[in-house]
Structure 1
Amino acid sequence: MQQQPLDVLKKYWKHESFRTPQQEIIQSVLQGKDTFALMPTGGGKSVCFQVPGMVKEGICLVISPLIALMKDQVTNLAKKDIKAISLTGALSTDEISDKLDNCKYGNYKFLYLSPERLQAEWIVERLKDLPINLVAIDEAHCVSQWGHDFRPAYLKIAHLKEYLPDVPFLALTASATQRVQSDITSNLGLKDVTVFKKSFLRENLAYMVFEAEDKLYRIQQILDKNKAPSIIYVRNRKACHDVSHQLQSLGYSATYYHGGLKEKEKEANMNLWLQEKAQVMVATNAFGMGIDKPNVKTVIHIQLPENIESYYQEAGRAGRNGEKSYAVLLLGPSDIATTRNQFIAVLPDKKDLKQVYAKLNSFLQIAYGEGIGQSYSFNLNEFCSQYSFNIVKTYNVLQFLDRQGIVTLSKEFSESIKLQFLESSKEVLRYISLNPHDEEMLLAILRNYAGAFDMEVAVDVSYIARKAKKAEKEVFAMLQKLADKQIISYTSKGNDSTLTFNEIREDDLTINRIAKFLEKRNKIKVEQFQEVINYATDNNKCKSRIILEYFDEEVNTDCGVCSYCINKKREKQSPLVIAKEILTLLEYSAYTSREIEEKLNLTSAETIEVLQLLLDNEKIKINTYNQYTIV
């Protein structure tokens, strides 16, 4: 007798009931229907394929682009005594073949693989022999060119329909606009698809946007007001350490998380936060996958995200217990220009693509019509230095070639050269005074890699050489000398990456075929970033409505709890009234603008505007302590 879904949920997941609309999705799948499930962050997507995978005879094929997530799910299933296997990592053909044999004869219930594996015909042939009961496509927005993370390999999934005509397909995503949803069902070849959408509305989540020149001060205000678990998202690894240390020095319990940490450090820092020994987790976007801490009170972004999809998912980690919570975006005066330079200015065009691809073949000495299946050691810094290429833009080209399946990059470039200071800054300065030839190189490292006293950091040698006006070999020689003297620990892997060519070299034929995807991708990224700017700067519309309308949800009422709604409720004071209050306050003592703002419960904008008016009219002045006093 077939198990019932609720019995499976209780037995393996220890839950007494399903969340809406998990049960309806599972029933659709068990009825053999192709199903599309749009479930925003925290909706419990994995249960929607894992439960029917257990109920049905055979094995569930799960296609996912996230290797870490696949490993995580396989580990968690194993803890439940459920047999699952994944084709991740640099496996040989024999190893993959052995794993597929295990799937066929070893009574496994789940097989996880990346969409790129489907590009190998022999793997698809082997899949045909497996008793597949369900095909689950996670992160299904990757199949759409209009999605925020298009991966052409996802287009191959539709071919499985030809070999598995009677097997239901379940497409899952946490974020997709209407255009992306249509693309998903079409590109995956879903037939008579049943669609389930959970609303993007989070009634208990207040979206707040604050203009802030002093972001650390704003963070302090927020953390003091809400002393519950919080997440602060930052752009890069250095900011992780800097913000975490700043908060610790101010008396807050904080830890950090990013992709460059060793697994033990990640686990230790994660546990500090999960067990609430640290109130604040400062993290890059590497943090979040599989994180389901229900009592997160506040999620703060101190830099602009690339797109609304990412922001919604990260912000949505607050308030999963249903209690009032906050998603805060702090906007600085130069943030839009800075983020545009980081994301938009470095987008490569067709000319960049053509140039980098041609020079790549020359650099690796690949003849026309050759190269397929060949792997090469590749040093990004050396390559860019030789041809005077911008490193970030070149990396974006290589990443695009990887996404298009032209090449495969083995690992992150940033992992090649690492160092950490073993001596104090005082000792390093003493070394500089005794070795003046090394001064500019060492100062360039100290100025750009301040975190190197606390942790091992990845170093861009070509950048240090340019800053110090020295040859790269001189920088390497100095690093080796410092390592010999035990002033630093220093590791160099010689080459950053292994680059494998998946196609023969065809120059213009290759570039012309994929350039249209590049142009479309760039257009999408520019549009998506503009939507982020609109969200951050539109002071005349409810923030929740802006997000819901982005995801094509019709809403007729404001949320009542976001920064716009609260400001709208607040009685507007005339500058004249505020000026009188400020002058009255300053009769008794001198105060900074921040103190005036707090004491009179003003907004930053109101305070700055009226103080400037009073200064212009010579009613007040600023003293040497940056305080305002009456003239």
Structure 2
Amino acid sequence: MNKYQEILKQYWGYDSFRDLQEEIITSIGEGKDTLGLMPTGGGKSITFQVPALAQEGICIVITPLIALMKDQVQNLRKRGIKALAVYSGMTRQEILTALENCIFGDYKFLYISPERLDTDIFRTKLRSMKVSMITVDESHCISQWGYDFRPAYLKIAEIRALLPGIPVLALTATATPEVVKDIQARLDFREENVFRMSFERKNLAYMVRQTDNKTQELLHILRKVPGSAIIYVRNRRRTKEITELLVNEDITADFYHAGLDNAVKDLRQKRWQSGEVRVMVATNAFGMGIDKPDVRIVLHLDLPDSPEAYFQEAGRAGRDGKKAYAVILYTKTDRTTLHKRVVDTFPDKEYILNVYEHLQYYYQMAMGDGFQCVREFNLEEFCRKFKYFPVPVDSALKILTQAGYLEYTDEQDNASRILFTIRRDELYKLREMGTEAEALIQMILRSYTGVFTDYAYISEATLSVRTGLTREQIYNILVTLTKRRIVDYIPHKKTPYIIYTRERQELRFVHIPPAVYEERKARYEARIKAMEEYVISENVCRSRMLLRYFGEKNEHNCGQCDVCLSHRATDTLTGESLEELKKKIAELLAQKPHTPAEIAEKIEAEKERVSEVIQYLLEEGEWKMQNGMIHISK
């Protein structure tokens, strides 16, 4: 058993690695820059956690998903591994404490959001850290060709310059071939080094059902296919409506979206994961870091706006390797809705500039002021005040973020945190705190560990049950102790933030470049078109369409999607007859280009089979159609 297997056994209890994990771990362990392409559920976290534990020093993990950071830090701590996270919404003192712990506290993992890489405090402290490796999760976010580009990711190359010789492990579940090359270039890989799992999911049947009555079809599918399910919808209101519909039909269901309280999210997730609730109705906020292997159906009631997003969400079904279904319910009006998203996601430039200007009025920001100011942002209040709709404002702020004028963080639910600012021996010498305060302190010390070295998440509700004090009493005691400099208490808060990355500009100097607007808009439209083609196609295997989108050539049909099942009656091509017909047609085309009708006339085979081969090879790019004639691609 090698050192990596020993670590896997010691901390996770597994005897062996899954496909590709060990190859990626060995590569990064040898100090090579490494890109790992692993579909959702492929076990990405093991590929950096194991090699980091095998080396001295701390692994810096860059990820944009704050909920995932918190989950992974908690999970590592449960295994006795020291881990920390730094992200938007933490106070300066919290960040300082966390970074000091990374230098002196023998921590193994620092999870950090990409936006925090650019701060002076982080870069200063980084120089004193012993870093073993850098992990870039969701690494497709560094590529402007990708579906989820985030400008803050471009700072990672600068961090590499501060840590010469430290290798980078980039991970992603979805990347087209051009994005794969771009990730390596933008992360300054010393040489190209990609480990790629096949994106093919042999146990997952992709289905598209066209229907004018989605709710009826949904109920029909849930009654026909037993087992756990996720239903994805576009907005928060729909999650509640669909859940009520299912409950009324005696199907146990809960709903989940980013606007729910953390405690509510955790409770619902646990109820669903334990099987107490069968169906989770959710927005795309649900699923990151969720490891439930026995999901039998992932069903989309609304179309996602990219094949990448769809592939990730659909991939949450059937992780146990048993038969599962990824279903899209589609109606013709969905195409109109899909195209409307382009306008919502890329509002006119004039509109974006107006939002920028109104933001200055909202914060009463003087010209030239604002650089590195952090402000809480209430989207509803802003829209009410300046008569906007929330969706395009949200998009405008994201575009201004891409253009480098500000940093707009999505709504974050930060649980209450506490740190004792005096030493334990000093605490015991204190007098006159009152019996209630003393009882509360004792309960905190019994319930939470590490409160003298790091901020600990606390639950006032739990402390209330354990001490008999009301939540209000607990809040007031902790505020008083903060004023007396005994603790630093940061109450629970749920809010988005805007951070000014530049001082306020005059509108005539605010420039939104083509790379941020026109080029991204064109790529967004291309992804929507690809999604549209996926649902309306009736003659190409769904699995092959998705695989081809991600650059994976696949010679065989899956045999289980709705297209393959409908073609099975007409006896789909076997590998042998495909090769024979392909060879005959290729010989014909080698002489000169032909029309499909001419080919069908000259080849001795069923016309339907011939047209199927032609269609297949055109789709695969081996042949091309020009002026109605078929040519062999050079």
Return the TM-score normalized by structure 2.
Answer: 0.74
Amino acid at match of 2:28: V
CA 1:507–1:198 in structure 2 vs 1: closer, same or farther (change >3 Å)? Answer: farther
Cα offset, 1:508, TM superposition = 5.0
Which stretch shows the higher mean deviation, 49-58 or 342-351? Answer: 342-351
Partner of 1:566, secondary structure, is helix
Instruction: Tell me the number of residue pairs that the alignment of Structure 1 and Structure 2 aligns.
Output: 494
Separation (CA, whole Å) in 2 of partners of 1:379 and 1:71: 24
Q: Cα RMSD (Å) of the superposition?
A: 2.5
Is residue 227 of structure 2 the alignment partner of residue 228 of structure 1? Answer: yes
Could you tell me which residue of structure 2 aligns to residue 455 of structure 1? none
Is residue 134 of structure 2 the alignment partner of residue 129 of structure 1? Answer: no
Amino acid at match of 1:222: I
Separation (CA, whole Å) in 2 of partners of 1:269 and 1:379: 26
Could you tell me which residue of structure 2 aligns to residue 6 of structure 1? 5
CA 1:79–1:202 in structure 2 vs 1: closer, same or farther (change >3 Å)? Answer: same
Cα offset, 1:190, TM superposition = 1.1
Could you tell me which residue of structure 2 aligns to residue 186 of structure 1? 185
- State the identity as a percent: 42
Separation (CA, whole Å) in 1 of partners of 2:9 and 2:193: 26
Could you tell me which residue of structure 2 aligns to residue 256 of structure 1? 255
Query: What whole-Å deviation, never above 9, does each CA across 1:388-434 have from its counterpart, x for those lacking one?
Result: 5444222211122234442234653999xxxxxxxxxxxxxxxxxxx
Partner of 1:277, secondary structure, is coil
CA 1:293–1:570 in structure 2 vs 1: closer, same or farther (change >3 Å)? Answer: same
Stretches of structure 1 lacking an aligned partner (at least 5 in a row): 416-492, 573-631
Cα offset, 1:356, TM superposition = 2.3
Could you tell me which residue of structure 2 aligns to residue 197 of structure 1? 196
The answer to whether the 8 A contact 2:407-2:499 is kept is yes
Is residue 262 of structure 2 the alignment partner of residue 268 of structure 1? Answer: no
Cα offset, 1:216, TM superposition = 1.7
Cα offset, 1:499, TM superposition = 3.5
Is residue 135 of structure 2 the alignment partner of residue 162 of structure 1? Answer: no
Cα offset, 1:224, TM superposition = 1.9
Partner of 1:517, secondary structure, is coil
Separation (CA, whole Å) in 1 of partners of 2:110 and 2:188: 21
Is residue 23 of structure 2 the alignment partner of residue 36 of structure 1? Answer: no
CA 1:144–1:352 in structure 2 vs 1: closer, same or farther (change >3 Å)? Answer: same
Cα offset, 1:181, TM superposition = 0.8
Amino acid at match of 2:210: E
Could you tell me which residue of structure 2 aligns to residue 482 of structure 1? none
Partner of 1:203, secondary structure, is coil
CA 1:379–1:131 in structure 2 vs 1: closer, same or farther (change >3 Å)? Answer: closer
Could you tell me which residue of structure 1 aligns to residue 329 of structure 2? 330
Could you tell me which residue of structure 1 aligns to residue 625 of structure 2? none
Could you tell me which residue of structure 1 aligns to residue 141 of structure 2? 142
Amino acid at match of 2:81: I
Separation (CA, whole Å) in 1 of partners of 2:219 and 2:539: 27
Separation (CA, whole Å) in 1 of partners of 2:345 and 2:288: 27
Cα offset, 1:342, TM superposition = 3.7
Amino acid at match of 2:12: W
Could you tell me which residue of structure 2 aligns to residue 216 of structure 1? 215
Cα offset, 1:242, TM superposition = 1.2
Amino acid at match of 2:540: K
The answer to whether the 8 A contact 2:299-2:326 is kept is yes
Query: What whole-Å deviation, never above 9, does each CA across 1:185-227 have from its counterpart, x for those lacking one?
Result: 0111111232101111011111000101111221222122211
Is residue 495 of structure 2 the alignment partner of residue 504 of structure 1? Answer: no
Could you tell me which residue of structure 2 aligns to residue 570 of structure 1? 569
Amino acid at match of 1:324: K
Could you tell me which residue of structure 2 aligns to residue 610 of structure 1? none
Cα offset, 1:121, TM superposition = 3.0
Alignment map for 1:269-284 (pairs within 5 Å)? 269-284=268-283
Could you tell me which residue of structure 1 aligns to residue 74 of structure 2? 75
Separation (CA, whole Å) in 2 of partners of 1:391 and 1:44: 36
Separation (CA, whole Å) in 2 of partners of 1:162 and 1:496: 34
Query: What whole-Å deviation, never above 9, does each CA across 1:131-157 have from its counterpart, x for those lacking one?
Result: 100100000000000111111111110
Alignment map for 1:115-126 (pairs within 5 Å)? 115-126=114-125
Cα offset, 1:71, TM superposition = 0.7
Return the TM-score normalized by structure 1.
Answer: 0.74
Query: What whole-Å deviation, never above 9, does each CA across 1:227-255 have from its counterpart, x for those lacking one?
Result: 11111111122211111111111122222
Is residue 338 of structure 2 the alignment partner of residue 339 of structure 1? Answer: yes
Separation (CA, whole Å) in 2 of partners of 1:357 and 1:403: 13
Amino acid at match of 1:279: R
Could you tell me which residue of structure 2 aligns to residue 245 of structure 1? 244
Cα offset, 1:345, TM superposition = 4.4
Amino acid at match of 1:349: D
Partner of 2:200, secondary structure, is coil
Amino acid at match of 1:559: C
Alignment map for 1:200-599 (pairs within 5 Å)? 200-376=199-375, 379-381=378-380, 383-384=382-383, 387-409=386-408, 412=411, 499-507=498-506, 511-512=510-511, 514=513, 516-570=515-569
Separation (CA, whole Å) in 2 of partners of 1:291 and 1:323: 18
Separation (CA, whole Å) in 2 of partners of 1:174 and 1:340: 26
The answer to whether the 8 A contact 2:62-2:111 is kept is yes
Cα offset, 1:515, TM superposition = 5.2
Which stretch shows the higher mean deviation, 3-12 or 544-553? Answer: 3-12
The answer to whether the 8 A contact 1:153-1:404 is kept is no
Could you tell me which residue of structure 2 aligns to residue 25 of structure 1? 24
Query: What whole-Å deviation, never above 9, does each CA across 1:332-377 have from its counterpart, x for those lacking one?
Result: 2311112322454452232222232233334544333222133456
Separation (CA, whole Å) in 2 of partners of 1:519 and 1:375: 29
Cα offset, 1:117, TM superposition = 0.9
The answer to whether the 8 A contact 2:399-2:516 is kept is no
Separation (CA, whole Å) in 2 of partners of 1:413 and 1:133: 30
Amino acid at match of 1:229: S
